[in-house]
Amino acid sequence: MTWIIPPSGSASLTHYDLPLNFLAACGCAYGASYHATAAISALAYSGDERASVGPGPGCGRCFRLTLQSAHGVSPPFVPADPKPSVVVKIVDRCPSPEFCSATRSHPNKIGQQIHFDLALPSPALNLSFFPSNPDLYGYSDFGVWNINYQTVSCEEWTGWSNKTNLGVEPSYPGFEESCCPINPPYTSDLCPKSIKAPPPSSAIRSTGSAFTPFFLLILVSSWLAITLPFSQSL
């Protein structure tokens, strides 16, 4: 049975590098990378605990993430009210075995079943989102946070106003197998559980042209078709 993330609750949070115009595992449009996006833990991403399962009900969803406290620091660090929050769209699957591999019965290393991994940097979000106290702790990036999350309509996401930021990326050769609904679960458009493995996170980058790995394959095949008969005749 497909597991669906509860509409609200507590979770853990980290951040990772996802350059602009990179295509992540859900296959969401390149334009989404110019706004706040995130990867989500495996079970919430696909609705299944198996690593081979591809894009599922987590893709395309939007959540409001609110920082509660830095995890594992001494003395404890709690941001002042109002606590920082951001609305993100899920575009990727978080791969970390420590934080992102919780199952239905076993939480991750800090006791959470759900983990978000913020994609940084983007014009909409950078490390300044995270409060810190370097004078006290000797560093400015705590790395791991305890947060609360709330499912929200993607109309609250900053990328909503531009249609090129929404849906799957049509220039990706495997876009038929991608799934990035515009506003789940507020519409009936929801990714089914896939039995196909997702592409590697951040594996495909927009070049601003139609030249993709798919066309490269066609060019190589054409070259071989021309050169091999010629070489055999020599």
Report if residue 216 sits inside a domain. Answer: no
pLDDT at 229 over 60: no
Whether 66 maps to a domain, the answer reads: yes
Least confident of 21-30, 37-46, 214-223: 214-223
Asked if the model's pLDDT at residue 127 lies above 90, the reply is: yes
Q: Which range marks the domain in which residue 105 is found?
A: 8-177
What is the count of structural domains for the chain? 1
Adjacent-strand bridge partners of 116: 13, 40
Check residues 209 and 105 and name the one with the higher pLDDT: 105
Q: Specify the pLDDT at position 197.
A: 45
**189 lies in some domain:** no
Residue 183 domain-assigned? Answer: no
CA 219/CA 234 separation, integer angstroms: 23
> Residues 6 or more apart from 49 whose CB is under 8 A from it?
3, 42, 43, 103, 104
Q: State the pLDDT at residue 50.
A: 66
Question: What is the structure's pLDDT at 186?
Answer: 73
Percentage of the chain exceeding pLDDT 90: 59
Average pLDDT, the chain: 82
Q: pLDDT at residue 69 above 60?
A: yes
Contact 8, 149 (CB under 8 A): yes
| From 22-36, 45-59, 90-104, the region with the lowest mean pLDDT | 45-59
Any domain includes 18:
yes
* pTM of this prediction exceeds 0.85: no
- Does any domain span residue 130? yes
Residue 217 maps to a domain: no
User: Could you report the per-residue pLDDT of 134-183, keeping only the tens digit for each?
Assistant: 999 999 999 999 999 999 999 999 999 999 999 999 887 767 778 899 99
CA atoms within 13 A of residue 154's CA, in its CB half-sphere: 28
Q: How many helical (H) and strand (E) elements, i.e. helices and strands, does the chain have?
A: 3, 8
Q: How confident is the model at residue 53 (pLDDT cuts 50, 70, 90)?
A: low
Q: What is the pLDDT of residue 187?
A: 64
Per-residue b or e along 41-80, where b marks 16 or more CB atoms closer than 10 Å to that residue's CB: bbbbbbbbeeeebbbbbbbbbbbbbbbeebbeeeeebebe
Task: Compare 175 and 37 and report the one with higher pLDDT.
Answer: 37
Of the pLDDT bands very low, low, confident and very high (cuts 50, 70, 90), residue 191 is confident
Count of residues making up the chain: 234
CATH number at residue 63: 2.40.40.10
Helix spans in the chain (H): 42-46, 134-137, 213-233
1 falls within a domain: no
